Amino acid sequence: MTKQYRAHPHRTAEDTRPALYGHSRIARAALAAMTAAGLCATGTAVAQAASATTPTCSVSALTASFGRGLAGGMNHQGVVLKLKNTSARTCLLRGYPGLGLENAAHRTLHSTTHWGDTWYARSPAKSTLTLRQGQSAEAVISWTHADSGTPDAVHAAYLQVTPPAATSHKTLEFPQWVDHGDLRVTALARRIPVND
């Protein structure tokens, strides 16, 4: 009687090639993803390190000035405020400037500053601005002045401007009547579109 033998199944190199190729593709994709994640993390770390080493603009590093004056109906008035880095170092600004009113004797008057949209411009979202020497940021200020004789109107001679994160201020001439001492100001940006 002839015995029949079943051949044991086995794989040749050609049989295993597709499986190896598939694993290789997965490995390469995983490596690419890890590399991209590593580069992203590295870029974030570099940006954070740069931000950490760049100081916030101090009051002494900035000059404050008025740009374009803004007028309109319904007793609205406004002006573009500019903060310029006049120091030799790059510095950062983020957020809203603080405002205040003074009389001719530089005594602080009652005032309230509202951060956000103004009559003339929508406020941009807060962002970190990097100012190199000679570069500026701006904000738009608005107020109303119904009449110099309006009850609770504040007669100012100067405007206090406090840069974000600062504890002291710049002072600009500001001979204005301001109803109720209410001032509105946008966040700082490189440039803000104005409607007047």
| Percent of the chain predicted with pLDDT > 90 | 65
Quick one: 86 and 38 in the same domain? no
With cut-offs at 50, 70 and 90, classify the pLDDT of residue 158.
very high
- The predicted model scores a pTM of 0.74
- pLDDT digit string, tens, across residues 88-117: 999 999 999 999 999 999 999 999 999 999
Q: Higher-confidence residue: 145 or 99?
A: 99
Residue 87 has pLDDT above 90, yes or no: yes
Quick one: 75 and 157 in the same domain? yes
Quick one: 49 and 63 in the same domain? no
Q: How many domains does the chain have?
A: 2
With cut-offs at 50, 70 and 90, classify the pLDDT of residue 42.
very low
Residue 196 lies in a domain: no
Q: What is the mean pLDDT of residues 151-173?
A: 95
Closest CA to 96 of 159, 161, 156, 51: 161
Residue 180, C-beta contacts closer than 8 angstroms, at least 6 positions apart: 112, 152, 153, 154
CATH of the domain at 141: 2.60.40.10
Quick one: 78 and 33 in the same domain? no
Residue 2 lies in a domain: no
| Percent of the chain predicted with pLDDT > 70 | 72
Closest CA to 156 of 113, 123, 96, 194: 113
Residue 13 has pLDDT above 80, yes or no: no
Quick one: 32 and 66 in the same domain? no
Quick one: 86 and 107 in the same domain? yes
Quick one: 174 and 109 in the same domain? yes
Residue 6 lies in a domain: no
Residue 14 has pLDDT above 60, yes or no: no
Whether the CB-CB separation of 59 and 170 falls below 8 Å is answered with yes
- Please give the residue range of the domain that contains residue 28: 12-53
Q: What are phi and psi of 116, to 5 degrees?
A: 140, -150
Quick one: 31 and 80 in the same domain? no
